[in-house]
Amino acid sequence: MKFLIAALYGMVALAGTLPAHDPEEFRFSYRNDGLNVYECNKNDLMVCAKPQVCAIIEKCEKSCIFNSDGADCIRKGEINYDFLAYYYEHPELDMNIHIDPNENWESKKPASPEKRQSSGQTNQLISSGINKDDTVTEKTYECSNDHTGVLVCQYGFCSTDHYCKKGIRCSDNCSCCRRGLEEVEGSDTTQILPRSTELAPRGGCTPGKYTCNINPFTNSAWILTCNPKGEWQYSSDCGTDKCIESPEGVAHCVAKTN
C-alpha cells in the first residue's frame, strides 16, 4: 500500500509537468438528449426514459461516472496521469489500479462524479441477485402491497415468502394471512392497483422475474412481478424513489439523485 501511495505521489507530480487538458475534451459515450437521461448506480450505467424508471444498459468494469451532460464507464484504456491524480484527490474511489508506465493511455480526464445516497428502505427492495446490504441481517415479514401474500425481508431485500389462499388476505397487524379481512386497515387498494387486464398489453412473462412500470393511479414507479401464471402484477410502490430494472429480470427501488 505504501508503494502504491508513493507511486501515486510520483504520478501526481508528473501530471503537473504534462500539458493541461481542456475539460471540454472529455465526451461521454452516453449523452443526455432531452428524452433519455443517463445516470450511474454504483458501477451500473443506466438509461432513464422517465424520471421514475431506469434500466441498466452496461456494467462498468472500473467505475461509472455521470453529471448533467451524460454518463460513461471508465475503462483501463482511459487511465492516464491526470486520471490518477483525480483518483488521488478522491480517496473514496477504487484505488486498486494496475499502473503500467509503458502503456499508451488516452488523454481523457473525467468529470467529477455525483454522489448517490441509498434509500435505506428494506420493504422496497425486491431482488435475489444484486449486492446485499450487510447492515440489515435479521429476517422480517410484511404484507405485499396488494395484500395477497407475505414477503420475507433480509439484507435489505424482500421477496415473496408465500401467497395467501383464495378468500384470505394478509393483515398488516401480524404480517400473516388471516380470514375475514373484508378491508385492509388503512389501505384502499381498489383504486391503486390496476386490473390485470390493464397490464395484459405487456405480454407474457417468466414467473419469478421483476420489471418496472409507472402506475397511472399513483403516478409513481412500481415493481412488477411475474406470477406463477406468467402474468405481470403490481408488487411494490417505489413512492418518491425511482425503480431500476436489469436485463436479468431483477428490479429494485433506489433514492433519486438530488
C-alpha cell at 24: 471540454
Among 37-51, 135-149, 151-165, 174-188, whose mean pLDDT is lowest?
174-188
Q: Is residue 221 part of a domain?
A: yes
Residue 81 — pLDDT band, cuts 50, 70, 90? low
- 38, three cell numbers: 443517463
Are 172 and 240 part of one and the same domain? yes
Check pLDDT > 70 for residue 4: no
Across 96-100, 130-134, 252-256, least confident range: 130-134
Q: What residues contact 140, with CB distance under 8 A and at least 6 apart?
A: 122, 152, 153, 154
Residue 31 sits in the same domain as residue 73: yes
Instruction: Decide if pLDDT at 241 tops 50.
Output: yes
Mean pLDDT of all residues in 106-131: 35
Amino acid at 163: Y
- Answer yes or no: is 96 within a domain: no
Would residue 179 count as lying in a domain?
Answer: yes
For residue range 21-36, what is the model confidence (pLDDT) as tens digits?
334 445 678 888 888 8
Q: How many structural domains compose the chain?
A: 2
Instruction: Look at residue 176 in the predicted model and tell me its pLDDT.
Output: 76
The mean pLDDT value for 203-232 works out to 81
> What is the chain's percent helix, strand, coil content, to nearest 5?
15, 30, 50
Same structural domain for residues 138 and 214?
Answer: yes
pLDDT reported for residue 25: 43
Q: Cβ neighbours of residue 174 under 8 Å, at least 6 residues apart?
A: none
Does a structural domain hold residue 129?
yes
Q: Which amino acid is at 193?
A: L
Is 177 found in the same domain as 73? Answer: no
Alpha helices, DSSP H, located in 121-209? 196-199
Q: Quote the crossing angle between the two packed helices 2-17 and 81-89, to the nearest 10°.
A: 120
Rounding to the nearest 10 degrees, give the CA dihedral for residues 122, 125, 130, 132: 0
Mean pLDDT of the region 253-257: 75
Positions of E strands within the chain: 30-31, 37-41, 44-50, 53-59, 63-66, 70-74, 125-126, 140-143, 149-154, 157-163, 169-171, 176-178, 210-215, 220-226, 232-237, 242-245, 251-254
- Both 126 and 79 in one domain: the answer is no
**146 and 220 part of one domain:** yes
Strand 63-66 to 70-74 pairing: antiparallel
- Do residues 163 and 219 share a domain? yes
The answer to whether residue 116 is domain-embedded is no
pLDDT band at 210 (very low <50, low <70, confident <90, very high): confident
**What backbone phi and psi angles, to 5 degrees, belong to 153?**
-120, 135
Same domain, 174 and 127: yes
Nearest Cα residue to 37 out of 6, 67, 2: 67
Q: Are residues 161 and 221 in the same domain?
A: yes
> Which range of residues forms the domain containing residue 240?
122-254
Residues 116, 122, 125, 127: is their CA dihedral positive or negative?
Answer: positive
**Mean pLDDT taken over the chain:** 64
The reply to whether 175 falls in a domain is yes
* Structure confidence at residue 181 (pLDDT): 40
Do 79 and 183 share a domain, yes or no? no
**What pLDDT does 70 receive?**
84
Position 109 in a domain: no
**192 inside domain:** yes
Give the per-residue pLDDT at 225: 83
Contact 200, 174 (CB under 8 A): no
CA distance 164 to 196: 18
Residue keyed to cell 428502505: 121
On whether both 11 and 126 belong to a single domain, the answer is no
The reply to whether 139 and 209 lie within a common domain is yes
